[in-house]
């Protein structure tokens, strides 16, 4: 497995140090994982249990997240970023479209999906070494990573935990769907329960929230139930976790 023997010129030393601590490698093109947890649309909304499958690209910004929720998993939520094209929709029984985005919202949705990709580098640490489109800067235990696609540029702040791993992420301006349009709001995520799996340190738990009216509104909590790359067999927990 190729690790830091090949040091990308676009990655500054503190970021290379992070990649080394996380066990990042330069083989493979994508990460595939499964999750379960709870999510809600905003303050006052009911939490819904979900199970999801996700693919994260390592060499360019891209992902696809498909979650099943609702009674008997009859509702499918799809979030995706593929070569600059975005998808964000909710379907009933896989075919009846309940919600989605309009063409006028394309730039806001692209910004939101790019920021999600940056935030989830903790689950795809190999991208730190492989994705040459990422632009890094460092200041103490804080890092910033940026990416640009066409006219849309995004910057995400990363704070390292006591072990020097990705502890939290923050942006002051991720677009949030409100009243039929998008409004930029502060958005943050936290990672925990790091485990050494297949030579990489991965956070098996995460949560995401919006800062609304001065307070944090947690809208997503999840736990990894499997994780693999292209060349590595899927992870199976020592005990089968009960789906919620």
Q: Distances from the Cα of 239 to the Cαs of 32, 226, 235, 242, in angstroms? A: 20, 12, 11, 9
Write down the pLDDT at residue 231. Answer: 65
Nearest residue to 115 via CA among 144, 77, 78: 144
Q: Residue 79 CA to chain centroid, in angstroms?
A: 11
Terminal Cα distance for the chain, rounded? 36
The per-residue pLDDT for range 53-82, each reduced to its tens digit, is: 999 999 999 999 999 998 777 899 999 999
pLDDT at residue number 106? 85
- In this prediction the pTM is 0.88
Tokens, residue 176: 């949030």
Position 166 scores a pLDDT of 98
Q: Tell me what pLDDT residue 242 has.
A: 38
Output the pLDDT for position 181.
85
pLDDT of residue 40: 93
* All residues at 6 or more sequence positions from 45 whose CB lies less than 8 Å from its CB, including other chains: none
CA dihedral 24, 168, 90, 48 (to 10 degrees): 120
CA 19, distance to chain mean position in Å, is 17
pLDDT of the residue at 85: 86
Q: State the pLDDT at residue 140.
A: 81
* Pairing verdict, β 166-178 and 181-197: antiparallel
pLDDT per residue of the chain (244 residues) written in tens, 0 to 9: 444 445 677 789 999 999 999 999 998 999 999 999 999 988 888 999 999 999 999 999 999 999 999 877 789 999 999 987 888 888 776 554 445 454 457 899 999 999 999 999 999 999 999 999 999 999 888 999 999 998 999 999 999 999 999 999 999 999 998 887 899 999 999 999 999 999 999 999 999 999 998 899 999 999 999 999 986 444 444 343 333 3
- All structural domains of the chain, each given as residue ranges with its CATH number in brackets, are 13-227 (2.50.20)
Q: State the Cα–Cα distance between residues 242 and 220, nearest whole angstrom.
A: 19
């Amino acid at each position: 497995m190729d690790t830091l023997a090949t040091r990308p010129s676009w990655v500054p030393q503190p970021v290379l140090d992070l990649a080394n601590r996380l066990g990042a490698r330069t083989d493979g093109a994508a990460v595939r994982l499964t999750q379960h947890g709870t999510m809600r649309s905003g303050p006052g909304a009911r939490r819904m249990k979900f199970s999801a499958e996700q693919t994260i690209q390592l060499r360019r910004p891209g992902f696809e997240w498909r979650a099943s929720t609702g009674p008997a998993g009859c509702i499918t939520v799809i979030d995706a970023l593929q070569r600059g094209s975005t998808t964000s929709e909710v379907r009933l029984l896989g075919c009846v479209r309940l919600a989605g985005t309009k063409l006028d919202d394309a730039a806001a949705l692209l910004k939101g999906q790019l920021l999600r990709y940056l935030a989830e580098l903790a689950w795809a640490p190999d991208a730190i070494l492989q994705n040459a489109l990422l632009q890094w800067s460092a200041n103490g235990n804080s890092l910033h990573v940026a990416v640009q696609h066409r006219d849309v540029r995004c910057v995400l702040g990363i704070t390292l935990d006591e072990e020097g791993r990705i502890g939290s992420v923050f942006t002051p301006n991720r677009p949030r769907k409100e009243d039929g349009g998008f409004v930029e709001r502060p958005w943050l995520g936290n990672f925990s329960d790091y485990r050494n799996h297949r030579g990489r340190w991965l956070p098996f738990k995460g949560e995401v929230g919006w800062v609304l009216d001065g307070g944090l509104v947690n809208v997503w909590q999840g736990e990894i139930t499997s994780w693999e790359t292209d060349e590595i067999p899927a992870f199976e927990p020592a005990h089968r976790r009960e789906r919620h």
